[in-house]
Structure 1
Amino acid sequence: MAADAVERVFINRLDSYASKCIAKFLSTCVVGASLLESGEREERLSPDLQVQEGTFQIVGTCAHKTESDAGRQSYVSAEYSHLNREELLECLMECDIIIYNITEHADQIEEASWAVSAMHAQMDRFTQPKMFILVSTVMTWALSRPVDPNDPDIPFTEEDYRQRRAHPSFKEHINVEKVVVKMGKTNMSLFSTYVVASGVQYGMGEQLFHFFFKKSWLGDEPKALVFGEGTNVVPTIHVDDLAGVIQNIIDHKPNQQYLVAVDDSKNTIEEIVGTISYVLGPGKTQRVPKEDAFLIRDLSQMDIDTLLVDLRIEAVYLKENLNVRWACESGFVDNIDRVVEEYKQTRSLQPIRVCVLGPPAVGKSSVAERICKHYKLHHVRVKETITETLTNLESVIKTEDPEAEDSATSSEFLETLKENMEENGGRLDDQLLIRIVRDKLKSMPCRNQGFVLDGFPKTYEQARDLFSADDEEPENTTSKIPPFNKNIIPEFVFSLDSSDKFLKNRVIDLPECLVEGTSYSQKHFLRRLKSFRENNVEDETVLNYFDELDVHTEHIEITSSDDPQYLLVMERIIRSIGEPKNYGATSHEEIEEEMRSADRRLKEEAQERADTERRETEEAQERAARWQEWSKCLEEAKKREQDLLEEQTVPMRNYLMKTVMPTLTQGLLECCRIKPQEPIDFLAEYLFRNNPQVE
């Protein structure tokens, strides 16, 4: 192996599930490492490290535009997006290995066919040999005729690839496979091509099986769904093993152009779903008609076709001729613990375990509810847990066979609980109470998402018994820390406290209808408060127990009733716990939130329209009032002006009536009597002669 050899590898859609995992795997592999024997082979580098000397140099396309190298993964040398065909071809020509994954995105099928054809047409420009690897799917074998009609269980091998028949939804995939194989036959020493028919990929966060993982992890359904009879065999391969097969093809350059990449398992879909359900969820499965799969929004047509495939196929060539370091050679079911751990780590799904303690009426339950809502945790309260346990036991007894072992055990435990509660006035002995709460904390929902333990345990002894280590857990004799169960011990403990006076006033201020018949009645509350104070004055308290385990307790003092929503308390708690480690909203919750958001937007828009109309109406009314007032003022001004003018014309009118009009009247009468030829001149002459001022 040439330690200084560097090969530039192009991978399409680096932001997709399989391509990302293949890229991350190859970026940690030294070129030629798989040529060594297992005992001599070097360990792969950590995928978290920067690109190292001698490893494959990864470049590729991504669906989403990257504005700068700031968004690029450390194991990728270059990312491209929105390239036209000429630009993409030049990018491919700069690479030694071209890997096209067509198992996830349908739009990549045509591009892969174009890419291998375009590269083949440019062979005269090659300065060194190049390799093209198509990652396809075993669904191109889905309808193949049995190797032996009398024995349909005989598996297919690579030798049978010419007789393969594709599922109708995967005919384009088989067409590309044929093109890739054909292009590699011209000059294999210069341009070699390979097709890898991959089984259903799993691991590193999941893709197709993610629906079942998420449903089981969330615990929304009492049983995991199996579509159809569930007896169909689904070929699978861990995505890291698929990457290992590709690494071997690059290093070994095998003569066989068509390879099958599947593990040794022959798991049915019922076994796969049942295993997921057992490890992450309710532990039960339910068969439903195949048609129900089309009601699942998270499953595409191709996903459904793949889940329903029934195919037995073996990877004989790579087993006999390649040197794959298998991660999960025996398959999904046998390696479920590893797969689940990868699932949690990749998707940052870690439980958050919280304990909220404090005196009665301090607000433990209100704070616990808000923590649960913010982090999507399970609220564990003693009273509700007892009721839930009794209900579940009764349900098991009714549904199970009375002679079954589980039913007999449940019946015996239920009878023990009821007898103990009758003897203790409705309360349970600590031994039984701790057993119930411990079983609740160890349940799958609490183990997956986490929990908020509300006001329990109350004493050091209860805490010690509740969180004690299981018998099968190895005891660390060198540690001074007492043994405890790491799966249920709280990571965060919050101790709420307040003065007795404040707590008493808070209870006194509660409405009588809320206090009557509850533990907040005067008699019960004072007794509970006294008991709490007594349990927390000695050296061995609940908080002392957590201190012994190095679990830090954060003390929060409640001094005011002016914050009924506990915003300040929640701010401190969120700052202490950090970001949620859970799934965001489910698809159903997202739809409901979208509907609520749309409803809010409609209401806001309607309110805005109403406000606009109101403002316009008010402005119109104001304009009308101002116009009316202005018109009134104008009329009054005109009237005042008219009166002034009339007042100013009185002297002139008097002068005219007294002096001018009598003479003018006589002149007109005289003009009428004489009837001169020029009346105007006659009248003017008359007025001039008879002007009173002249006289």
Structure 2
Amino acid sequence: MGCDVVIYNVTQHADQVEEALWAASALHSEVEHFSGPKMFILISTIMTWACSKPADPDDLELPFTDAIFWSRRAHPNFERHIDLEKRVVKMGKTLFSTYVVAAGLQYGMGEQIFHYFFKKSWLGEDGPVFGDGENIVPTIHIHDLARLAASLCLCYTTDSLNHEVITQQGLMKIASVLGPGKIQKKPSEDAFLTKDLTDSLLVSLRMEAAYIKKLFSFNWVCQFGLVENIEVVVQEYRQSRGLLPVRLCVLGPPAVGKTTVSKKICEYYRLHHVTVKGTISDTIARLEHAVRNPDPGEGQSTQEAQEQLSMMKERLEQNPGTASDNEVWRCWDELMTHPCKNQGYVLEDFPQTREQAKELFDGESDTPRLLHVRASPAHSLFSSPEFVLCLEATEAFLLDRVLNLPESHVQEHNCEPENFSRRLAAYNEKQSEDDVVLNYFYEHDIIPLQFGNPVAKSLCPRNYGPSSQEVKEEERRKAGERLRREAQERAEVEQMEADEARARVARWAEWTKKLEQVRQQEEEELEATSRPMRGYLMEQVVPTLSQGLTACCRAQPQDPVDFLAEYLLKNNPFELPSELQ
């Protein structure tokens, strides 16, 4: 009653429908006591239009507007919502003004119905598309919906609010920005088997916010929709959910175990493993593909690709197992991929010099790049590591480890004795210089972690959900707790049953004892009560009755009862009254 404006959003929870109706009805009943005008804004759902017939059957692309709100037909599961809308509008005829906003599916700041697709993409799974994916899904950013509600407080109107035309398949641009970029077509019925989805996803409505465009002018957050602003929406999603990338460099001498440690960390935190060897292989494969299948749209001629490919192969033959500065800059492109920007990365054994670190993370170097890649101003924001893990070992330990490695491992990692000695000497020479790579990280307040420190505790797990190892450990912990809890419950039940059995035996013994006492008391009372009657019968009745029975047996009359009655009357030892004689 003290509010000038009341806003109810019934788009998320069905139980809010009854509450909103109660609030509107209670306020409407108090209109006579209003000190001034009051406004009730109901933020409803476009599902109350889901089964509406097009205004013009010959033009199916003609959008719905609120001018034909009277003809809307709700989805069967949203009959309560449309009934609420009608009753709220009907109340708004007095000082109590009511307005209904049919909002599109809401997104932004952590997502709601679209969270299912964001989570799938973040976990690296294909984006699901139910049915043909051509249905038009009206959407609205939550900030734009809030700004509309604020504008309604100043300018009274009613509208069906969505500001873009987008198909369900168009929504899968989420997968291209947040995940691998692949989609998977599924039957539309599968949407009902997923608990995180609702009927709203399969709706197909082309709507136009006519009053919004006509009466309101405010700064839209996503004026042109989810697809056009997908980068902004994904950034909001990461921040609101705390899904920040974990970026790590693993450095150290050759054969110290950088690959093993990097793979373990990647598996634990679900990160992308980046190596110089892998980036070179990917670059060669991409150049070979460009040579075989030239594409003018890529902006690189076949001749340029062939020259770069030949140059890279020549340098690799001259210096196998390593790469020159020009080739390793391909790491920059790898770090700017969606998996590295979203989930994070583990960069193994690179950079090896301070100059390489500056070029890779800051984009500052006088060395021209072979592949014409330009660093962006926001490059350092996305690619610079947060943690540096520096593995250390003595030269004797490394030599002994190399000698005991399997032959396949030696060939794969180029750890032959002569190559390993040369690589170790080159590493030691770089470490003896004053301008080593670790100085770059110290300058940027990134303190390298030594191998002896607990890596898992030093890092900050900010990925989506626990890793497989964490899941297994959590399952084992929960299983142990469940077994202990079940054992404790069984012990408690057994103890309760034993206590109850003992109490039952004690109650039965007490009841039996009391029953015996009552029975004995009743017998004594019966004996005392029947003693005079029994004496009278034995003295006065039984002798005459015995004689009568004896006489009856001797005479054997046809009616023994009548015979015995006459006998008792005749031989009564007492004098009978005159009326009986």
TM-score of the pair, normalised by structure 1: 0.60
Q: 3-state SS of the aligned residue for 1:533?
A: helix
Residues 618-666 of structure 1, C-alpha deviation per residue, up to 9 Å, x if partnerless? xxxxxxxxxxxxxxxxxxxxxxxxxxxxxxxxxxxxxxxxxxxxxxxxx
> How far apart in 1 are the matches of 2:45 and 2:98?
16
> How far apart in 2 are the matches of 1:375 and 1:427?
28
User: 1:491, 1:551 within 8 Å by CA — same for their partners in 2?
Assistant: no
Structure having the higher helix fraction is 2
Structure 1 residues 137-536: aligned runs within 5 Å: 137-185=45-93, 187=94, 189=95, 191-221=96-126, 224-252=127-155, 254=156, 256=157, 258-263=158-163, 265-273=164-172, 275-299=173-197, 303=198, 305-385=199-279, 402=293, 404=295, 416=310, 419-420=313-314, 423-424=317-318, 427=321, 429-430=323-324, 433-467=327-361, 469=363, 485-504=380-399, 510=404, 517=411, 519=414, 522-536=417-431
Mark the CA change 1:210 to 1:507 in structure 2 (over 3 Å): closer, same or farther: same
Mark the CA change 1:601 to 1:434 in structure 2 (over 3 Å): closer, same or farther: same
Using the TM superposition, give the Cα deviation of residue 544 of structure 1 relative to its aligned residue in structure 2, in angstroms. Answer: 3.8
Using the TM superposition, give the Cα deviation of residue 539 of structure 1 relative to its aligned residue in structure 2, in angstroms. Answer: 3.5
Residues 321-351 of structure 1, C-alpha deviation per residue, up to 9 Å, x if partnerless? 2344322222222222322222222222222
Residues 32-71 of structure 1, C-alpha deviation per residue, up to 9 Å, x if partnerless? xxxxxxxxxxxxxxxxxxxxxxxxxxxxxxxxxxxxxxxx
Mark the CA change 1:311 to 1:523 in structure 2 (over 3 Å): closer, same or farther: same
Q: Match for residue 679 of structure 1?
A: none
User: 1:494, 1:553 within 8 Å by CA — same for their partners in 2?
Assistant: no
Q: Match for residue 585 of structure 1?
A: 466
Q: 3-state SS of the aligned residue for 2:383?
A: coil
- Whichever residue aligns with residue 201 of structure 1, its letter is Q
Using the TM superposition, give the Cα deviation of residue 317 of structure 1 relative to its aligned residue in structure 2, in angstroms. Answer: 1.6
User: 1:226, 1:269 within 8 Å by CA — same for their partners in 2?
Assistant: yes
TM-score of the pair, normalised by structure 2: 0.71
Mark the CA change 1:152 to 1:241 in structure 2 (over 3 Å): closer, same or farther: same
Structure 1 residues 38-117: aligned runs within 5 Å: 93-117=1-25
Mark the CA change 1:270 to 1:516 in structure 2 (over 3 Å): closer, same or farther: closer
Residues 442-495 of structure 1, C-alpha deviation per residue, up to 9 Å, x if partnerless? 2210111111111122234544554463865577xxxxxxx9754323233333
Q: Larger relative contact order (C-alpha < 8 A, sep ≥ 6)?
A: 2
> How far apart in 1 are the matches of 2:207 and 2:42?
19
- Whichever residue aligns with residue 259 of structure 1, its letter is D
Mean Cα deviation higher: 415-424 or 287-296 = 415-424
Using the TM superposition, give the Cα deviation of residue 266 of structure 1 relative to its aligned residue in structure 2, in angstroms. Answer: 1.4
User: 2:262, 2:273 within 8 Å by CA — same for their partners in 1?
Assistant: yes
> How far apart in 2 are the matches of 1:323 and 1:515?
66
- Whichever residue aligns with residue 228 of structure 1, its letter is G
Using the TM superposition, give the Cα deviation of residue 294 of structure 1 relative to its aligned residue in structure 2, in angstroms. Answer: 3.5
Using the TM superposition, give the Cα deviation of residue 162 of structure 1 relative to its aligned residue in structure 2, in angstroms. Answer: 0.5
Among candidates 566, 570, 573, match of residue 455 of structure 2: 570
Using the TM superposition, give the Cα deviation of residue 314 of structure 1 relative to its aligned residue in structure 2, in angstroms. Answer: 1.2
Q: 3-state SS of the aligned residue for 2:234?
A: helix
- Whichever residue aligns with residue 168 of structure 1, its letter is P
> How far apart in 2 are the matches of 1:130 and 1:230?
43
> How far apart in 1 are the matches of 2:342 and 2:267?
16
Mark the CA change 1:504 to 1:425 in structure 2 (over 3 Å): closer, same or farther: closer
> How far apart in 2 are the matches of 1:366 and 1:306?
47
Mark the CA change 1:593 to 1:210 in structure 2 (over 3 Å): closer, same or farther: farther
Using the TM superposition, give the Cα deviation of residue 283 of structure 1 relative to its aligned residue in structure 2, in angstroms. Answer: 3.5
> How far apart in 2 are the matches of 1:157 and 1:335?
25
> How far apart in 2 are the matches of 1:139 and 1:192?
24
- Whichever residue aligns with residue 117 of structure 2, its letter is F
User: 2:276, 2:328 within 8 Å by CA — same for their partners in 1?
Assistant: no
Q: 3-state SS of the aligned residue for 1:197?
A: strand
- Whichever residue aligns with residue 120 of structure 1, its letter is H
Q: 3-state SS of the aligned residue for 2:229?
A: helix
Mark the CA change 1:500 to 1:218 in structure 2 (over 3 Å): closer, same or farther: same
Count of aligned residue pairs for this structure pair: 479
Mark the CA change 1:244 to 1:462 in structure 2 (over 3 Å): closer, same or farther: closer
> How far apart in 1 are the matches of 2:15 and 2:436?
64
Using the TM superposition, give the Cα deviation of residue 178 of structure 1 relative to its aligned residue in structure 2, in angstroms. Answer: 0.9
Uncovered stretches (5+) of structure 2, i.e. residues with no partner: 364-371, 490-581
Q: 3-state SS of the aligned residue for 2:154?
A: helix
Uncovered stretches (5+) of structure 1, i.e. residues with no partner: 1-92, 476-482, 559-565, 610-695
Q: Match for residue 567 of structure 2?
A: none
Using the TM superposition, give the Cα deviation of residue 414 of structure 1 relative to its aligned residue in structure 2, in angstroms. Answer: 11
Residues 277-324 of structure 1, C-alpha deviation per residue, up to 9 Å, x if partnerless? 33333334443332333444432xxx2x22222111111123222344
